[in-house]
Amino acid sequence: MFSAVVNMQGIKGYFSFHQPSPFDLTTITVNLTNLDRRVGPYHVHQFPLPQMRSPSDSSCSNNNLGGHWNPFNVNTQAPAYPPPRGSTHDLFEVGDLSARHGSLENTNNFQATFMDWNLPLFGRNSIVGRSVVIHMPNSTRFACASISYPGEVTVAKAQLSCGLGVACGRTIHMVYSDE
Ligand SMILES: [Cu+2]
């Protein structure tokens, strides 16, 4: 089980992804609150968010996250590229989740579970370690989150006390589990 925990632009929630083996379907669970009818399409993009304490919406930029995850180089400009929900899963880019399962348009709280035949969590085409980007209906990037093991990174903070004339500071250690 992997997840992308979203906490940006007032949106809170997660995408979770479960595939028991490379030969099984992937189950996607989407649970997002406070979308406030501001968003539409969502995709898996190539790279994870840069490591920082509090990611901002600029973390979602093309420089950071790249374009859609498309390991089979499907040509989305070709006349044969199917319209949203207009085909079997294999004819879409791997990362094009909303084309396969529908967009988030005109919703506030969104909860759904989808089965996906074209979303590997194993091997070289895996989406793990990449990111999910939620776009505005006009396709501007709005919010994003990395796809990782829940609890993969724990942030240990040490806040030193400070007072008048006493130096103070903060150290942060990123601790990765062995998985
Ligand atoms: Cu996208």
pLDDT of residue 157: 43
CA of 105 to the centre of ligand 1 (A): 14
Please tell me the predicted confidence (pLDDT) of residue 160.
Answer: 45
**44 exposure class (CB count in 10 Å sphere: 0-12, 13-18, 19+):** buried
For the segment 131-157, the average pLDDT, to the nearest whole number, is: 83
Which amino acid is residue 140, in one-letter code?
T
pLDDT value, residue 54: 74
pLDDT above 90 (res 174)? no
Q: Which tokens in the block code for residue 83? A: 């319209």
Q: Distances in Å between the alpha carbon of 168 and those of 137, 151, 171, 172, 173?
A: 45, 29, 10, 14, 17
Task: Read off the pLDDT of each residue in 156-174 and give the average, rounded to a whole number.
Answer: 49
Residue with tokens 């940006």: 8
Residue 131 Cα to ligand 1 midpoint, Å, equals 9
Task: Please give the Cα distance from 9 to 154 (Å, whole number).
Answer: 23
How close is the Cα of 179 to the center of ligand 1, in Å? 28
Q: What is the mean pLDDT of residues 131-140?
A: 97
Compute, in angstroms, the gap from residue 45 CA to the centroid of ligand 1.
6
**Is pLDDT at 178 greater than 50 in this prediction?**
no
> Residue 86 — very low, low, confident or very high, per pLDDT cuts 50/70/90?
confident
pLDDT of 118 > 80? The answer is yes
Report, as an integer, the average pLDDT of 60-74: 95
In the chain the domains, ranked by start, together with CATH numbers, are 2-151 (2.60.40.200)
CA angle 49–132–9, rounded 5-degree value:
75
Task: Provide mean pLDDT across the span 114-140.
Answer: 96
Q: What is the mean pLDDT of residues 84-90?
A: 88
Structure token pair of residue 152: 């993969």
Find the 43 Cα to ligand 1 centroid distance in Å. 4
Please give the average per-residue pLDDT across 15-21, as a whole number: 97
Determine the distance separating the centroid of ligand 1 and the alpha carbon of 157, expressed in angstroms.
33
Please tell me the distance between residue 96's alpha carbon and the centre of ligand 1 in angstroms. Answer: 7
User: What's the mean per-residue pLDDT of the chain?
Assistant: 87
Q: Which residues contact 31 (CB under 8 A, 6 or more apart)?
A: 13, 14, 16, 110, 111
Closest CA to 10 of 147, 134, 138, 143: 143
| d(CA 44, ligand 1 centre) in Å | 6
Residue 128 Cα to ligand 1 midpoint, Å, equals 16
